[in-house]
């Protein structure tokens, strides 16, 4: 197990462990220029063929041509998406909706039913894949026909007892089994939350104990399994200000049960060859989640085939340092490690908690610092893939990050069809970026949560809150969708005009030949 302190040499390597995404290397990287929304000529457009294996990426990432980007999207879907994104970008509307969802109105059956039905036919249908596994499967088949893949997410979380955890595990296992039955390569990952298979109070207790052991390496945790490093010297430890009590016998038993649930899920993923990604949570719980993730990866990631992926949140100040030491440790041990790289989703709550305890926020002080951290981590992970180590899911809605990462992958000579590189966006978000990356030859996944509306509600509330940080992406999608809808309307009017000017006899001939 790695020691707590980093050597001076390792610290020096950390400061320069990667070339930034926007630097130049063997070939110059395409600079990011303002997007041009001007109309393009309108030749017949067909979807490009899927990536050919063992061929380099040669196509530039084009986010200008709305006709090409949305060629596989129906007009009805475009209209509905533009409307829902418009509502999600209206902050007073979102604030009111969140107030209603968290109010006592939800305790009245009639009002609750009305609200849930309204949500189902608006935000739920836009951001979620359905209420049942079958509906999620239909969604995956549709996006697969459009050249995208699906990350199957049984959207349960924050469970308080073992019975609920056992029930959630069965749901995750069914997801893996169902993924195997879908068209080959249509499902890229199954997603799970540790909060769904381990009681949340126990996760907090384990996180406290792990933090205290980092402060005091002689603090003994008899239940602790082998794991990669969980903290760095820049990690936030203010959650645990006093020495915590050891786990009780019952807590140790519950911890063992939770770990067995995860191992059962990992074993199922190995048997069916379906990679598993563990989602991240807020910093009060994340140490325990990393402990579960890394200890399982050590057991199941073999032969350059990462089955278990962890999640790195780039908005945290310690993200880059933790990523570096985990990746270095995994490589030294000969264990392939997969990572999903995200920006983060708990900005408000993290800042409020840190402030209430008199500490600085664990999140970068500016969005520019978060972008820089994300791009540096992405560059490092892409360089590892080019060197034949590990795997990465670059989950981003930021256009510049997508363009820079695509350029970096081309510059490094990463081949089309490389199974160790995947881009990802939320279902219903960043459609232009998803289709642009697809057209450039990359593997692209959409995060597809499914489950009953009331069960998925916490996810939807977070989407509403987080969308405040995605307004620029939403604005881009709405602008491009508007351009494409106008183009289709003009074509429809032109077609009607042509039909009206045609003679009745010629119309009969045309209809008869169809």
* pLDDT at position 104: 83
Whether 186 is covered by a domain: the verdict is: yes
Question: Is residue 15 predicted with pLDDT exceeding 80?
Answer: no
Query: Each residue of 487-506: pLDDT tens digit?
Result: 888 877 666 666 666 655 54
Whether 340 is covered by a domain: the verdict is: yes
* pLDDT at position 267: 97
Query: Each residue of 210-253: pLDDT tens digit?
Result: 999 999 999 999 999 999 999 999 999 999 999 999 999 999 99
Query: Each residue of 80-89: pLDDT tens digit?
Result: 888 877 777 7
The pLDDT confidence band at residue 8, using thresholds 50, 70 and 90, is very low
Average pLDDT rounded to a whole number, residues 381-391: 95
Collect all residues with Cβ–Cβ distance below 8 Å to 20 and sequence separation of at least 6. Answer: 372, 375, 376, 379
Report residue 363: phi and psi, to 5°.
-95, 145
* pLDDT at position 44: 32
Question: Is residue 465 predicted with pLDDT exceeding 80?
Answer: no
- Mean of all residue pLDDT scores within the chain: 84
DSSP for 249-289, please give it.
Answer: HHHHHHHHHHHHHHHHHHHHHHHHT--EEEPP--TTTHHHH
The pLDDT confidence band at residue 71, using thresholds 50, 70 and 90, is confident
Whether 236 is covered by a domain: the verdict is: yes
Query: Which residues sit opposite 423 in a β-bridge?
Result: 394, 444
- 260: domain range? 129-450
Whether 122 is covered by a domain: the verdict is: no
Least confident residue range of 41-55, 78-92, 165-179, 362-376 = 41-55
Q: How far is CA 4 from CA 213, 217, 231, 240, 291, in A?
A: 10, 8, 8, 17, 15
**CA gap 311, 151 in Å, rounded:** 14
Count CA within 13 A, CB hemisphere, residue 463: 25
Whether 317 is covered by a domain: the verdict is: yes
State the DSSP code for 222. Answer: T
Collect all residues with Cβ–Cβ distance below 8 Å to 344 and sequence separation of at least 6. Answer: 280, 313, 314, 315, 316, 363, 370
Question: Is residue 381 predicted with pLDDT exceeding 90?
Answer: yes
Q: Which CATH number does the domain housing residue 414 bear?
A: 3.20.20.220
**Pick from 226, 191, 233: nearest CA to 320:** 233
Question: Is residue 290 predicted with pLDDT exceeding 80?
Answer: yes
**Pick from 299, 388, 301: nearest CA to 336:** 301
Whether 138 is covered by a domain: the verdict is: yes
Whether 144 is covered by a domain: the verdict is: yes
Query: Each residue of 318-353: pLDDT tens digit?
Result: 999 999 999 999 999 999 999 999 999 888 889 999
Domain count along the chain? 1
* pLDDT at position 69: 83
The answer to whether the CB of 394 falls within 8 A of the CB of 423 is yes
> Could you tell me which residue, 146 or 49, shows the higher pLDDT?
146
Whether 109 is covered by a domain: the verdict is: no
Collect all residues with Cβ–Cβ distance below 8 Å to 214 and sequence separation of at least 6. Answer: 4, 230, 231, 235, 237
């Amino acid at each position: 197990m790695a020691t707590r302190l980093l050597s001076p040499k390792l610290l020096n390597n950390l400061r320069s462990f990667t070339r930034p995404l926007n630097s130049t290397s063997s070939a110059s990287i395409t600079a990011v220029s303002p997007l041009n929304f001007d109309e393009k000529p309108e030749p017949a457009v067909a979807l490009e063929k899927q990536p050919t294996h063992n061929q380099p990426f040669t196509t530039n990432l084009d986010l200008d041509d709305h006709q090409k980007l949305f060629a596989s999207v129906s007009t009805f879907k475009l209209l509905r998406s533009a409307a829902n994104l418009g509502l999600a970008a209206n902050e007073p509307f979102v604030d009111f909706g969140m107030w209603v969802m968290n109010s006592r109105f939800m305790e009245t059956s009639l009002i609750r039913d009305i609200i849930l039905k309204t949500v189902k036919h608006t935000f739920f249908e836009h951001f979620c894949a359905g209420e049942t596994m079958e509906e999620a499967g239909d969604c995956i088949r549709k996006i697969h026909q459009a050249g995208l893949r699906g990350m199957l997410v049984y959207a349960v979380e924050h469970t308080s007892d073992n019975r609920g955890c056992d029930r959630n595990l069965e749901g995750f296992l069914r997801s893996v089994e169902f993924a195997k039955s879908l068209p080959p390569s249509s499902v890229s990952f199954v997603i799970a939350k540790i909060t769904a298979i381990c009681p949340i109070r126990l996760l907090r207790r384990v996180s406290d104990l792990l933090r205290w052991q980092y402060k005091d390496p002689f603090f003994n945790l008899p239940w602790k399994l082998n794991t990669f490093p969980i903290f760095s010297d820049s990690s936030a430890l203010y959650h645990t200000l006093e020495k915590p009590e050891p786990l009780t016998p019952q807590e140790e038993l519950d911890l063992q049960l939770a770990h067995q649930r995860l191992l059962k899920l990992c074993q199922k993923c190995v048997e069916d060859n379906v990679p598993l990604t563990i989602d991240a949570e807020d910093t009060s719980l994340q140490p325990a989640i990393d402990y579960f993730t890394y200890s399982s990866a050590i057991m199941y990631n073999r032969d350059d085939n990462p089955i278990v992926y962890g999640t790195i949140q780039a908005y945290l100040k310690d993200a880059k340092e933790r990523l570096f030491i985990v990746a270095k440790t995994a490589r030294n041990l000969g264990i392939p490690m997969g990572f999903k790289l995200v920006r983060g989703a708990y900005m408000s709550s993290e800042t409020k908690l840190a402030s209430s305890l008199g500490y600085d926020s664990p999140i970068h002080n500016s969005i520019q610092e978060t972008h820089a951290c994300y791009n540096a981590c992405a560059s490092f992970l892409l360089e590892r893939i080019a060197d034949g180590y590990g795997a990465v899911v670059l989950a981003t809605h930021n256009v510049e990050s997508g363009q820079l990462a695509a350029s970096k992958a081309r510059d490094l000579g990463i081949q089309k069809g490389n199974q160790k590189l995947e881009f990802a966006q939320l279902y219903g978000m960043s459609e232009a970026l998803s289709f642009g990356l697809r057209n450039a030859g990359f593997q692209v996944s959409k995060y597809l949560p499914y489950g009953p509306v009331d069960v998925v509600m916490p996810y939807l509330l977070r989407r509403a809150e987080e969308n405040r940080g995605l307004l620029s992406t939403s604005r881009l999608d709405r602008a491009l969708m508007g351009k494409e809808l106008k183009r289709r309307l003009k074509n429809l009017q032109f077609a009607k005009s042509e039909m009206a000017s045609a003679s009745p006899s010629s119309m009969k001939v045309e209809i008869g030949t169809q």
